[in-house]
Structure 1
């Protein structure tokens, strides 16, 4: 796999039984790239080790006043230099390719899992952990996969050097063969402790960063209640904890660095002292001494790869565990292998009894916003209890018997359960816009460039969502104050931070209308706009979604009055069905939610105490 071929058409099905198994799975899927990196790594490392032979021949030729031998040594060193340059460039290219492609595979797997689970994912895993896995953890995992080939090349080179030295000069070769493993393995007992301290430091730094971001985001509110000093003191305390953790981590890493300098130096001194004694005794020549010394000196290069491997594994293990934990989450019901034509018909939820007839605008009134949000997710095929741990995990939903089938039936579109549809077909059939939609950074044209039926134009959707003032503001932002710029090409900042809440909500509504799905579910689509704008938006939705199935969860009379039918929810069951005016006349619980009138003779509304 080459970088220019990314992304993968299919990143595969990962082994998420443990972090170690996940790392092994990633490595197995890069055997071609690993073999290429190993080959170039061996060329590079063996050429570096071969310089010791060339240096020893050259020194001995000078001692013997052998011009021909010196020339041959020069040619050998020049050839090895070319091999080193070529091997170093190509191994760097191959290993970086392995790193990037492994990280990309992890990110694609995570993106696929996020798309599969939807908003339910953040109920099982914190959003910050998902971001960590897709960024820093993906890089650490890629680093480990990249280091493996260089480690194998380095270990092979050290083994060859030790074997060659034992054969070439047994007296010194045995010392080197014993010393190399000691030097390589000496820091291993310290690495887990150092890795743990580094993890603690990162966790505390992440908390401090999150605390700072929250403080800045809520600074206006904090100033209003006089809470700046309280949050600043919290940040100071968190910052001091980060400093202390960093100092403790630095102490461990400094000890590791000291060991990495002390032991190789001790081995070098031992080889020089013992070799000099052997040379003085006449048991070895000066050229042999220089060859062994040079081999030990040059072998420090592959030894660093051995240490890097241990370090990369220590860092990647927690990252792989986090990635495996996220990727292990599964939908409780998977798509069947049967062929489904594009589903049409009424949208029906067998759990609540809610029915949204085909082609009609159905409004749903819930007294509790959380109930409304959960219902919206169910209607889109994302029930709150729809995620379970992988087979080896121990998390299960209360409504699921261990090892048994799902206890909660799926929402049906026509005769087809949404859970049995392939994921892309289910998402195409039913689109849910929650009460806090997210706008990605980019231009307005890019924001509205979404998969759609093609029947609704961007201008019609923007008009129905009453976005004229948003277009004017974007036009002014693109050219200054004359308003002559193209609003469709005006960049929108991340999450639409440069826009007001009502403007963001209307742009998100326009994006949903452009999509033109078979069924559109809107959760409080006008909660952030004034009543006049809300009335026009309601009329726009009614007109643009004519003869299309639309479900609006709202309690605004302006929206409810335009609906073909209104459903009143009492907790998680249907309490009454009718038009807005019929329910106002006949249903006290409906008036308690919509008109804010207390029910006579009772102290409860549809799901919420009065």
Structure 2
């Protein structure tokens, strides 16, 4: 794989059982690039290591006044320098290719996993950790993958030079052969402490990144309550902790580097002292002494790669561990115990004649059924779901989309488990819009350019979501007289109000036109007049399509074909809004915001109280429709 061939057609299935296994998997999948880098590295390091031999031959030729050997040494020196230049050039090329292709493979794997998990990713992994994995961690992993081949070439070169020196000059070769392994292994006792300090630094950096992302995301709210300085102080403290941890880690690595400089210097002194002693005794020539001395001096260059591979592994190991943890996440949470037949069977005694089928397999095609709560959403109707707990409503919405937070039976669509459908099919069939949808930066036209059935136009979706005033505001905000569809929306729609963002997100979901659309509080940020019009537009546009709205708004509930009350994790009542507000106190409590005192006062006359609340809600809707 070359850089110009990126991205990979298929990045493969990673071994995400642990960080080291993931690194090993990456190396095996780049075996061709590793072998090329190893070959060029051997040429480069061997050429560098051969320079002392050429210099030694030249010195001895001058001492012996031999012009032939001097010319021969000059020719060898030219060849060695050419090999050095060629090897260094293509080693760098191969190493950078390995680095970039490894990083690109990891990025593709992370992007694929993000697409598979959707919004469930940030519920299982902290946002700061996701940012760290997809940015700095990718580079560290790529660094280690490309450093392996250079380290291997350096290690092989050191072994070859030691063997050559033992053959060339055994007396000095023994000193070098014993000293070089000691140099390579001398820093091993320092590595665990250096690794721990580096881990602390990365942990603090991750927390600082998460704090920064949270602060930026909530900047508008912070300004509203005057909390900018408070969070700025928190970030300053976190930043200083990162700086101190970085200095603490750098001290250890500087000590390792100092050891790597000191010990080779001591070995050189030992070689020179012993070599001069042998030369005085006439046991070696001056050229041989120069050759051995130069070899030891040159070998400090490949020895530096021992320190680099130690640094690369210590930095990449936690990065690979984090990446493996993200890549090991599955589309649905694992079950804590084996699936049983009764898990998929609905309870027999819940209310509603059609809400609890005799068996899940008997569901007609297109019906959506959640065995965990007993919720049945018939195909082709607008079903509103009321939950007293907003968090429970959010979890139910995610479960209906095939991303449950907790282990349990899968949601069924037409009798088929949703989490067993191919991801592409599941995403086409069911679309979930959560209560805090994100608008990406770009023009409104680009925002609505999403995969869709083609049956719903952008104009129809904008009209149903009542975005007319949003278009007007965008046109007025633009300095040039241009189509509002071409006006650029800032990141996350921060230039718009909460209600405007919510309506644009709803329009985007309506354009997609999925078979099943799940909306979690789609009108919580709009006024009641606009909400009533949105309810009407939503029902008209989604006519004949399955729509689930999780809400407690009477205006939306009154427009629904069917209303389901979910209480304490199970379906408690089914009917229309008017029926439930009269007959079901728990439903009335959620929808009308009835207090405990009001319920106690109305305990003897629940119907009258319910009718009063219903009359108020219906009267409000009629007034809104008249003014609209």
Query: TM-score under structure 2 normalisation?
Result: 0.84
The equivalent of 2:479 in structure 1 is 481
- Gapped regions of structure 2 (runs ≥ 5): 336-363, 607-628
Partner Cα distance (1:100, 1:475) in 2: 43
Partner Cα distance (1:492, 1:284) in 2: 80
The equivalent of 2:387 in structure 1 is 366
Check whether the contact 1:55–1:290 (CA below 8 A) recurs between aligned residues.
yes
2:498 maps to which of 498, 501, 510? 501
Shift of 1:318: 1.6
Aligned residue for 2:559, secondary structure, equals coil
The equivalent of 1:271 in structure 2 is 271
Matched, 1:590 2:611: no
Structure-2 change in CA distance of 1:534 and 1:103 (3 Å): same
Check whether the contact 1:476–1:485 (CA below 8 A) recurs between aligned residues.
no
Partner Cα distance (1:83, 1:157) in 2: 14
Moved more, 161-170 or 207-216: 207-216
Could you list the per-position Cα deviations for residues 314-357 of structure 1 after superposition, in whole angstroms to 9, with x for gaps in the alignment? Answer: 112222222223333333579xxxxxxxx952112222222222
After TM superposition, list the pairs within 5 Å mapping 1:503-522 onto structure 2: 503-522=500-519
Moved more, 451-460 or 512-521: 451-460
2:543 maps to which of 537, 541, 546? 546
Shift of 1:567: 1.6
Aligned residue for 2:201, secondary structure, equals helix
Structure-2 change in CA distance of 1:602 and 1:106 (3 Å): farther
Shift of 1:124: 3.2
Partner Cα distance (2:470, 2:57) in 1: 79
Structure-2 change in CA distance of 1:475 and 1:233 (3 Å): closer
The equivalent of 1:439 in structure 2 is 439
Partner Cα distance (2:428, 2:475) in 1: 32
Matched, 1:15 2:15: yes
Aligned residue for 1:53, secondary structure, equals helix
Shift of 1:224: 6.7
Aligned residue for 2:406, secondary structure, equals coil
Aligned residue for 2:588, secondary structure, equals helix
Check whether the contact 1:333–1:419 (CA below 8 A) recurs between aligned residues.
no
Check whether the contact 2:132–2:206 (CA below 8 A) recurs between aligned residues.
no
Check whether the contact 2:127–2:210 (CA below 8 A) recurs between aligned residues.
no
Matched, 1:600 2:599: yes
After TM superposition, list the pairs within 5 Å mapping 1:356-435 onto structure 2: 356-386=377-407, 408-435=408-435
Aligned residue for 1:561, secondary structure, equals helix
Partner Cα distance (2:476, 2:176) in 1: 74
Structure-2 change in CA distance of 1:446 and 1:93 (3 Å): farther
Partner Cα distance (1:409, 1:206) in 2: 35
Partner Cα distance (1:485, 1:283) in 2: 91
Structure-2 change in CA distance of 1:72 and 1:521 (3 Å): same
Structure-2 change in CA distance of 1:195 and 1:148 (3 Å): same
- Gapped regions of structure 1 (runs ≥ 5): 335-342, 387-407, 606-610
Matched, 1:6 2:6: yes
Provide the alpha-carbon RMSD of the alignment.
2.8
Shift of 1:152: 0.7
Check whether the contact 2:367–2:377 (CA below 8 A) recurs between aligned residues.
yes
Aligned residue for 1:567, secondary structure, equals strand
Check whether the contact 2:147–2:312 (CA below 8 A) recurs between aligned residues.
yes
Shift of 1:301: 1.7
Check whether the contact 1:62–1:70 (CA below 8 A) recurs between aligned residues.
yes
Partner Cα distance (2:126, 2:379) in 1: 37
Query: TM-score under structure 1 normalisation?
Result: 0.87
